[in-house]
């Protein structure tokens, strides 16, 4: 088995780190070279590339695969696997951090620090997460990672999915048809759905009007799940208290976006899942699937 690591993974880790990690596990691995595709059994990549059609198996290093041409892969007999399952802890901690910051006002004090200001927030501003309600929209790896940490902080956790099957750590599961009921009483709403036809623009003016005025939106899914202009309007008009945003449409967020300058908005540049062991988490998935291939078993995370 020869795995090629495409340069585009450098968005999340140094390609040589994964090559070394795989070699230590007895898998032949090298940097991808488009003139050598006939030598590869597998290419590991962040972005798709036309040359991948010459390789039997493509592994995407992200959970979201909206960018990859999976229907064409299916037609041309290319296997595609993704990296869902590895981001529950990182994203769970990122969302917990954003909520803690909003409640304990850390983002405001950090801004003050930058100006050398010893200034207190008004009495009514700080609150505790304990007892506050979080609604998690999408209850897969990300959603469950967020829910577990929020429950540990004493929050009441509800969630939304396409069925109402229970999820550990989630007090009540709503069907997507009841999204508006689910978000109506929540202090925080966290988005953790894939970007699909059904979720594109899922949050727009109607949803923001249906949320509490003291509510915070947390988007760690994809920018396209939210109508960004409507979000800006909701924040400017006071229909929402604030937002923690890791993903945007477009990315990078343009310098001219009003979101940059809003005190009650935390902007992170699509790094909510970053960790210094990302290459190892992806490597473990690849090793697992290489071993499964050798045992002629079904691959994990196989999309097509
Ligand atoms: P999973 O497949 O584990 O979970 C997605 C969940 O969303 C599924 O459990 C599904 O549950 C639910 N879902 C799908 N459609 C809907 C819908 N219309 N309404 C409500 N729920 C829905 O994926 P992950 O949790 O690993 O990742 C989710 C997405 O988050 C990725 O696709 C990616 O876009 C984004 N992501 C962002 C990262 C970042 O860096 N910010 C990092 C990792 C992922 P059910 O079948 O029960 O409906």
Say how far apart CA 272 and CA 98 lie, in whole Å.
10
pLDDT digits (tens, 9 = 90+) for 79-111: 999 999 999 999 999 999 999 999 999 999 999
Q: How far is the CA of 267 from the centre of ligand 1 (A)?
A: 21
Given CA atoms 202, 205, 207, 213 in this order, what sign does their dihedral have? positive
Residue 131's pLDDT is 97
Reported as a pLDDT band with limits 50, 70 and 90, residue 60 is very high
Residue 266's pLDDT is 98
195 in ligand 1 pocket by Cβ < 6 Å?
A: yes
The DSSP code for 200 is T
Q: Whose CA is nearest to atom 5 of ligand 1?
A: 140
Pairing of β 79-81 and β 216-219: unpaired
Pairing of β 28-31 and β 133-137: unpaired
ipTM field = 0.98
Residue 65 CA: nearest ligand 1 atom is 32
193 in ligand 1 pocket by Cβ < 6 Å?
A: yes
Tell me the three state secondary structure of residue 152. helix
Residue 62 CA: nearest ligand 1 atom is 43
Say how far apart CA 92 and CA 99 lie, in whole Å.
11
Residue 162 CA: nearest ligand 1 atom is 48
Residue 142 CA: nearest ligand 1 atom is 25
Q: How far is the CA of 119 from the centre of ligand 1 (A)?
A: 40
Residue 163 CA: nearest ligand 1 atom is 47
Q: Whose CA is nearest to atom 8 of ligand 1?
A: 140
**What are the residue numbers of the active site?**
222, 251, 270
Q: What is the mean pLDDT of residues 7-24?
A: 98
161 in ligand 1 pocket by Cβ < 6 Å?
A: yes
Residue 122's pLDDT is 98
Residue 20's pLDDT is 98
CB of 44 closer than 8 Å to CB of 5: yes
Say how far apart CA 267 and CA 98 lie, in whole Å.
10
Reported as a pLDDT band with limits 50, 70 and 90, residue 288 is very high
Residue 72's pLDDT is 98
Share the mean pLDDT of the chain. Answer: 98
Q: What is the mean pLDDT of residues 218-238?
A: 98
Q: How far is the CA of 192 from the centre of ligand 1 (A)?
A: 5
140 in ligand 1 pocket by Cβ < 6 Å?
A: yes
pLDDT digits (tens, 9 = 90+) for 166-214: 999 999 999 999 999 999 999 999 999 999 999 999 999 999 999 999 9
- Residue whose token pair is 């999915």: 161
63 in ligand 1 pocket by Cβ < 6 Å?
A: yes
- Residue whose token pair is 């230590």: 24
Reported as a pLDDT band with limits 50, 70 and 90, residue 112 is very high
Shortest CA distance to 157 belongs to which of 199, 124, 187? 187
Residue 178's pLDDT is 98
* Contacts of 149 by beta carbon, 8 Å cutoff, 6+ apart: 92, 93, 95, 96
Reported as a pLDDT band with limits 50, 70 and 90, residue 141 is very high
The DSSP code for 18 is H
Hey, what are 47's tokens?
A: 């972005």
Q: What is the mean pLDDT of residues 244-269?
A: 98
Say how far apart CA 175 and CA 30 lie, in whole Å.
45
Say how far apart CA 173 and CA 163 lie, in whole Å.
8
138 in ligand 1 pocket by Cβ < 6 Å?
A: yes
Residue 214's pLDDT is 98
- Residue whose token pair is 């050598």: 36
220 in ligand 1 pocket by Cβ < 6 Å?
A: yes
Q: How far is the CA of 198 from the centre of ligand 1 (A)?
A: 12
Q: How far is the CA of 38 from the centre of ligand 1 (A)?
A: 34
User: What backbone torsions phi and psi does residue 175 show, to the nearest 5 degrees?
Assistant: -75, 150
* Contacts of 11 by beta carbon, 8 Å cutoff, 6+ apart: 46
59 in ligand 1 pocket by Cβ < 6 Å?
A: no
Residue 68's pLDDT is 97
């Amino acid at each position: 088995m020869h795995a090629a690591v495409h340069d585009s993974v450098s968005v999340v880790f140094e390609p040589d780190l994964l090559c070394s990690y795989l070699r230590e596990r007895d898998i032949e691995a090298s940097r991808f070279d488009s003139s050598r595709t006939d030598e590869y059994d597998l290419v590991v990549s962040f972005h798709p590339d036309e040359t991948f059609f010459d390789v039997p198996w493509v592994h995407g290093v992200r959970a979201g695969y909206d960018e990859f041409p999976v229907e064409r892969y299916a037609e041309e007999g290319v296997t595609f696997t993704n990296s869902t399952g590895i981001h529950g802890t990182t994203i769970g901690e990122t969302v917990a951090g954003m909520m803690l910051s909003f409640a304990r006002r850390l983002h405001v004090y950090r801004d003050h620090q930058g100006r050398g200001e010893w200034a207190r927030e008004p009495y009514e501003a700080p609150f505790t997460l304990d007892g506050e309600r979080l609604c998690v929209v999408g209850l897969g790896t990300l959603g469950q990672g967020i829910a577990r940490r929020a429950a540990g902080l004493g929050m009441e956790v509800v969630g939304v999915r396409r069925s109402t099957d229970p999820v550990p750590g989630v007090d009540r599961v709503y069907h997507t048809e009841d999204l508006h009921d689910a978000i109506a009483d929540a202090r925080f709403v966290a988005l953790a759905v894939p970007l699909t036809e059904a979720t594109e623009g899922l949050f727009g003016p109607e949803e923001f009007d249906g949320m509490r005025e003291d509510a915070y939106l947390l988007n760690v899914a994809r920018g396209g799940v939210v109508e960004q202009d409507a979000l800006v309007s909701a924040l400017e008009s006071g229909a929402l208290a604030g937002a923690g945003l890791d993903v945007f449409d477009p990315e990078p967020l343009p310098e001219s976006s009003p979101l940059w300058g809003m005190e009650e908005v935390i902007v992170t540049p699509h790094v909510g899942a970053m960790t210094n062991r990302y290459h190892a988490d992806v490597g473990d998935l690849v090793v697992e699937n290489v071993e499964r291939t050798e045992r002629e078993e079904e691959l994990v995370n196989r999309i097509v």
